[in-house]
Chain A
Amino acid sequence: MTIAKPDVALNEVERREGIERLVARNGHIKDLNMDPVTRIAGALAVHVTADLEKGVYLDSHAQATLFRGYEVILMGRDPRDAIFVSSRACGVCGGVHAHAAAYAIESAMGICPPPLGTVVRNMTEAAEMGYDNPLHLYLLAGPDYCEAVIKASNPELWPKAESWPCPNADIHGFKTMAELMTALNPLTGNLYREGLEFTRLSREMVVLLTGKYPHPENVVPGGVSTTLTLQTLNEFHSRLGKIFDYAQRMLAVWDDIPAFFYEADDRYQLVGYLPTNHIDPGYWDDPYAYDATYENCNSWGEKRWSTPGVVIGGELVTTRLTDINIGWEEFVEHSYYDASHTSRYETDPLGNPLSPYHSWNKRTLPKPGARDWKDKYTWACAPRWDRQVVEAGCYSRLLMTAKAQKMPASDFMSATGSSMRLLIPKGETGEREVEWHAPERWNAFERNRGRAYHYLFSQLVALESLLEAYKLMKQGEKRVAALNPTELEKAIPMDERRSVGWWGAGRGWLTHHLVMDKGKITNYQICTPSTINASPRDPWGQPGPYEQAVMNTPIIEDVSDPSKFTSIDMLRGIRSFDPCMPCTTHAYTGDGEVVREVNTCSCGGD
């Protein structure tokens, strides 16, 4: 199997000109812009040049198309406001932003939440994944594999699906792949409807603790304000039980889909393919190790349920949060900004060198202009780690944790170096051990499968955290926050502080970089997973993950009649990343002046 490599040797200008010549000469080469891409959250457009004869995507550009400006609003505000304000950056997973902001504030102010506070946060955030993952799998990505789509764009697959017995039929109950595909139909399909119902169950678990979703009402600097009672824990527990039964069925579905497609056509292995370069800052803290300091972040970071790390070319290169932090840079060559780096900070607080392009040094000099594929075409910036293109995803957590083998001891989860063993506790269905293997090739199918296993992983973290909460309650522990409101107000430092909140979102990586001075925010930078994945070319011409994934995707659908080209293969690739663009924010003023130093470089935008 050949893996098409985007031709990055040519410079962008020559490359585009070549493509334009081709498009002008040949009817089978299509240059199309899909705006908007639907069934993703937020505003994304994808431009493709497709050679229908050769069945390849010659070129692709991802564009983030929305600006808001929350960062400007945060500028000069009380740091305590960052939690409620930044939460509104994303309504798909607002809770993660509220938490990341709390971690950033705590680190800047030197307050460490009591164990029960951290445990409640873990429960909340695991439950939040509980509605995020099925929402994506069944409402957003699932329809790409449903009966209606297969019959229309891959009709040759349908007879095969009708006669293909599902290996996991005894678990999910669909005898053939065709039955399963019918259940994926939007709105009418059983899997679609069941997925939606289970998102509701998890949302109930979230609001038991937060009062409200997607924007939680209970996150405070130094902990949570949840009034935790035995009833809260019991209600959480009763819902979690149903989820484990459901997880068995979910895994069975997302194990069978890749098996069917790989068997039907080998080329499906290349849909949305990217080399194994992943990054993740870890998720869900050890309540006894986490101390809110940058100094000790490598030791408490490695004790997270999901281990932080970077994997390049399939090899784990680090699990240290400081490495992850100092390798981080954001470029704006192809984004509507002027050069945005400064050299305000040359080192991190521990003396490690920092690039002028690091988030703490980033200023935003927005400069809107015409869209030009050779030059600037998106509001998204290009984050890179060690100047390499990396991908973020909730499934990256499985990869890091599996490879690092540093996860806390658990009765339900263990890492083997190349896989994660997960024990699904009994519900109505009996107990079952499942294993997720790091895939050889990351493609659309493996991302979706990984997301399903991540659902289980997160729910097992919810279970472990719930058990910890019961234990703490038995011990009479009831403190959920380090400080009361009066102490909190007094604790706001007046000197200059900077910090970072490392956390995760439904799509993986999430960081909030904060600089504060005289008790006010002076710089606030959010970097979200979709920023990373939707990034444009960097200064070295390396396309961002969506762009590369599209260019690696073969056109498998039947395009003998060019007007029948739906681009389903590309859509499967793009949607497998779970693009989430709402926190895409871009800034400029009417007269093109700099309006801020604070910037939200969020889900796909800047």
Chain B
Amino acid sequence: MADRQTRTPTQVDKTPAEELLDALGPVDRYHDYEYFGDFGMPARAMMEDLVVGATHPGRFGPLDKVHAFWFAGASCDGCSVAVTGGTTPSLESMLLGAHPGIPKVVLHHPVLNMEAGAHYLRPAEQAVLGELDAPYVVILEGSIMDEVAAWRAGGYWSAQGEEPWGPEGELRPVSATEWIARLAPNAAAMMAIGTCATWGGIPAAEGNPTGAMSLMDFLGKDYRSVLGVPVVNVPGCPPIGDNFNETVAAILYFLQGFGPLPEFDELGRPAWLFGETVHRRCVRGAYYEEGAFAQEFGDPECLVEIGCWGPVVNCNITSRGMINHVGGCMNAGGACIGCTMPGFPDKFTPFYKRPPGSLASTTVSRMVGSVIRPLRKFSNNNLNREVRWDRQHATPSAFSRKRPGRRHWPTSVTSSTTRCAARATPRATTLTSGASATRPPAAAAPTPASDPDRSPRRCVSKPSRSSSTRTAPPHCAAASPTRTT
């Protein structure tokens, strides 16, 4: 099998999909539904007929209804889980037709549908036969495994149901891969969700025995759907649910005639979602710029030295969040391991190590940062004072640390380096000096010290301004009393 994995496309004249169909041969027998009766259909109706809330698109567009077949190859179901978390739009609102212009989407998903067993497979059979009542898209989560090799060895890697497709019409497990190969030619669109389906992902990592590959590799570079669309890829391990939901919606808006043509990059990714590196919108970006780098797990600064690959990875999680704009790897303190990338995982391991190429740029930002930081600190301190306070030479705040005989505002650049943050400026701070210095800016909003006795040193803060009107100076890390950068 190893040779099957290392072949280049030029060494074979067929795509893996064509090879599989050649090996399996054509099929012409389908389930005898009389034999099954209602077995596996507890509501005696298909999911489609149960969802009565679904509305028609009304005055929009040519499409009334679209079938969506969801198949899982070598998958962990994480993509399905991510999609159920999405809210723009949410899965249920799409299925219920809650958005003007979205056609009725009939989803065939093993985790959601009411019907089980043979009945679950009926629409897929109809699609293979060309008898489905509406156009269909196929969504694949998980990688495609090399079922040709498995077939030759008398087995399968991953099955999704069984069909009477054995040599004598006996039932045999049908792999997700086989369904994909049979459904792709007549699909309106083929969509790969998650890094396994888009680029092979972890099941395709070095040493894998299954010959796992991406949907793109399986269908070949000449693949076009009946609408002329190549494979659409929404990567991520897991993907952000909304990246997928939004892409589906964007395609539907376009098909219905009111949305712009969604742009895809040369790898089939939605260009408006994956056009930027995740570093560009990282919440820790300014630390990178100022040369402040986390050394311990949990530190608030830029994570590049503890293993972040963000500057060279296409991903939008820092701006979109993981769900409802909450979360995001670096937002929470997780270094980027490049999970959206075709090179994932092998080009990013071992994890928790700084990317080898980052040394040059971090050295430069350390140098630049050592100049910029004090200057910014100075200006920041200045702007943290009312003009009136400057005139009075005082900060009329009870949070202000009293230091008789000392001026309470910076007079020179030198006073604003390591020591100043903790004493001379009305900067945000929390209970303990060490903890305060390592908080990221967003969270280090001015907080009155609620337990001053615990604090080894009284810190200053500004009770008069709420955190919503001003966030804390973002330079505190550089001025950490516990660590000099």
Within the complex, which residue of B84, B353, B454 is in contact with A476, where a contact is CB–CB below 8 Å? B454
Among the listed stretches A60-68, A261-269, A279-287, which one makes contact with chain B, having 4 or more residues with CB under 8 Å of it?
A: A60-68
Question: B329 interface residue, CB < 8 Å from A?
Answer: yes
Task: Report which of A33, A36, A215 forms a contact with B237, defined as CB distance below 8 A.
Answer: A215
Instruction: Report how far A36 CA is from B122 CA in the complex, Å.
Output: 12
Contact B337 A84 (CB under 8 A): yes
Residues A199 and B85 in contact, CB atoms below 8 Å apart: yes
Q: How far is B295's CA from A66's CA once the two chains are assembled, in angstroms?
A: 42
Question: Which A residues touch B317, using CB under 8 A?
Answer: 211-212
Q: Which of A89, A193, A474, A590 contacts B153 (CB 8 A)?
A: A590
List chain A residues, Cβ under 8 A from B74: 66-69
Closest residue of chain B to A564 (Cβ to Cβ) is B38
Which residues of the partner chain B approach A484 to less than 8 Å between Cβ atoms? 295-297, 306
| Chain A 17-30 per-residue mask, 1 if CB under 8 angstroms from chain B, else 0 | 00000000000001
Contact A187 B53 (CB under 8 A): yes
Q: Is A83 an interface residue (CB 8 A)?
A: yes
Give chain A nearest CB distance to B126 CB in angstroms. 17
Chain A hits for B96, CB < 8 A: 187-188
Q: Which chain B residues (204-256) contact chain A, with CB distance < 8 Å?
A: 205-210, 212, 237-238
Please measure, in the bound complex, the distance between the C-alpha atom of A38 and the C-alpha atom of B39, giving whole angstroms. Answer: 13
Asked if A41 meets B299 with Cβ closer than 8 Å, knowing A227-B333, A368-B154, A564-B38, the reply is no
A-contacting residues, B47-86, CB 8 Å = 47, 50-53, 72, 74-82, 84-85
Query: How many residues does chain A have at the interface if contact means C-beta atoms less than 8 Å apart?
Result: 119
| Pair count A-B, CB < 8 A | 388
| Segment at the interface with A among B12-20, B343-351, B415-423 | B343-351
B105 CB → nearest A CB, Å:
11
| Shortest beta-carbon distance from B262 to chain A in Å | 25
CB distance from B237 to the nearest CB of A (A): 6
Residue of chain A at shortest CB distance from B51: A187
A242 surroundings in chain B (CB, below 8 A) = none
How far, in Å, is B315 (CB) from chain A's closest CB? 11
**Chain B proximity of A112: nearest CB distance (Å):** 14
Which chain B residues (283-303) contact chain A, with CB distance < 8 Å?
295-300, 303
Q: Which of B82, B156, B207 has the most CB of A within 10 A?
A: B207
Chain A residues within 8 Å of B306, by CB:
225, 484-485
Contacts of B357 in A (CB 8 A): none
Interface flag for A394 (CB, 8 Å): no
A143-B117 in contact (CB<8A):
no
Q: Pick the interface stretch among B157-165, B374-382, B391-399.
A: B157-165
Q: Given A85-B202, A368-B155, are A481 and B110 neighbors across the interface (CB < 8 Å)?
A: no
Expressed in whole angstroms, the Cα–Cα distance for A104 and B191 within the complex equals 37
Interface residues of A in 68-124 (CB under 8 A from B): 68-70, 72-73, 75-78, 80-81, 83-85, 88-92, 94
Task: Report the minimum CB–CB distance from B240 to chain A (whole Å).
Answer: 8
| Whole-angstrom distance between the Cβ of B431 and the nearest chain A Cβ | 7
User: Within 8 Å of chain B (Cβ to Cβ): is A441?
Assistant: no
Task: Verify if A175 is at the interface (C-beta below 8 Å from B).
Answer: no
Q: Is A481's CB under 8 angstroms from B297's CB?
A: yes
Nearest CB in chain B to that of A225: its residue: B297
Chain A residues within 8 Å of B, Cβ to Cβ: 30, 32-43, 45, 65-70, 72-73, 75-78, 80-81, 83-85, 88-92, 94, 135, 139-140, 143-144, 146, 148-149, 152-153, 185-188, 193, 196, 199-200, 203-204, 206-218, 220-232, 235, 336, 368-370, 473-476, 478-481, 484-485, 488-489, 562-568, 571, 582-583, 586-592, 595-596
Ordered by A's residue number, 9 sampled pairs between the chains whose C-beta atoms are within 8 Å are A40-B111, A90-B77, A92-B81, A188-B52, A206-B327, A212-B322, A229-B442, A474-B451, A566-B44
Q: Supply 9 further A-B pairs (C-beta < 8 A) apart from A72-B209, A73-B207, A473-B435.
A: A73-B206, A76-B207, A80-B352, A88-B76, A94-B76, A186-B50, A228-B333, A368-B153, A370-B154
Interface of B with A (CB < 8 Å)? 1, 34, 36-45, 47, 50-53, 72, 74-82, 84-85, 87, 90, 92, 95-96, 110-117, 120, 145, 149-150, 152-162, 171, 173, 201-203, 205-210, 212, 237-238, 295-300, 303, 305-307, 317, 321-324, 326-337, 339, 345, 349-354, 430-432, 434-435, 438-440, 442-445, 447, 451, 454
